[in-house]
C-alpha cells in the first residue's frame, strides 16, 4: 500500500492573505484561490502543498506542528522573510543556531543554519 503526502492544512482567519504570504515567502504557485481555501505548491503538479483553510478563531497557543527551512544563507533568508512581514518570536527555544519566526497570523516556523558536513 502506497501513502502519498498531499498537503499540510493551515488554519487561518484569512486564508487568501496568508496563502499569498506563504506563496511569496516560498516562491510557490497558487493552485486553488477560493475565499475559504487557498492552496499553494512548489509547482502545479508537485506535492506536498500547503492548504490554508478558514476558521473562525485566531491562533492562541504555540503550534503543535511547525515547518523548518534550511536556506543557503540563513541571515539573508531571515532578513528577506522579515521584510515580507514575518516576526521574530520566542517559544522557549533558548539560544539555538536556528531562528524562530512567525508568519502574519502567528504560526511559528524555523530558519535553520547551514547543514553540518558529514
Contact 82, 103 (CB under 8 A): no
- C-alpha pair distances (Å), 11 with each of 15, 26, 56, 65: 8, 18, 9, 12
Q: What is the pLDDT of residues 2-25, one digit of tens each?
A: 899 999 999 999 999 999 999 999
Domains defined for the chain, CATH in brackets = 7-55 (3.10.180.10), 65-118 (3.10.180.10)
Q: What is the mean pLDDT of residues 101-111?
A: 96
Query: Does the pTM exceed 0.95?
Result: no
Q: What is the pLDDT of residues 61-101, one digit of tens each?
A: 888 899 999 999 999 999 999 999 999 998 877 788 899 99
pLDDT of residue 13: 96
Helix (H, G, I), strand (E, B) or coil at 47: coil
Amino acid at each position: 500500500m502506497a501513502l502519498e503526502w498531499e498537503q499540510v492544512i493551515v488554519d487561518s482567519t484569512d486564508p487568501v492573505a496568508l496563502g499569498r504570504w506563504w506563496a511569496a515567502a516560498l516562491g510557490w504557485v497558487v493552485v486553488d484561490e477560493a475565499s475559504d481555501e487557498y492552496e499553494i505548491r512548489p509547482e502545479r503538479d508537485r506535492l506536498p502543498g500547503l492548504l490554508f483553510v478558514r476558521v473562525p478563531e485566531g491562533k492562541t497557543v504555540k503550534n503543535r506542528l511547525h515547518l523548518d527551512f534550511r536556506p543557503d544563507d540563513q541571515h539573508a533568508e531571515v532578513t528577506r522573510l522579515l521584510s515580507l512581514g514575518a516576526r521574530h518570536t520566542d517559544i522557549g527555544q533558548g539560544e539555538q543556531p536556528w531562528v524562530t519566526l512567525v508568519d502574519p497570523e502567528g504560526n511559528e516556523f524555523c530558519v535553520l543554519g547551514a547543514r553540518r558536513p558529514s
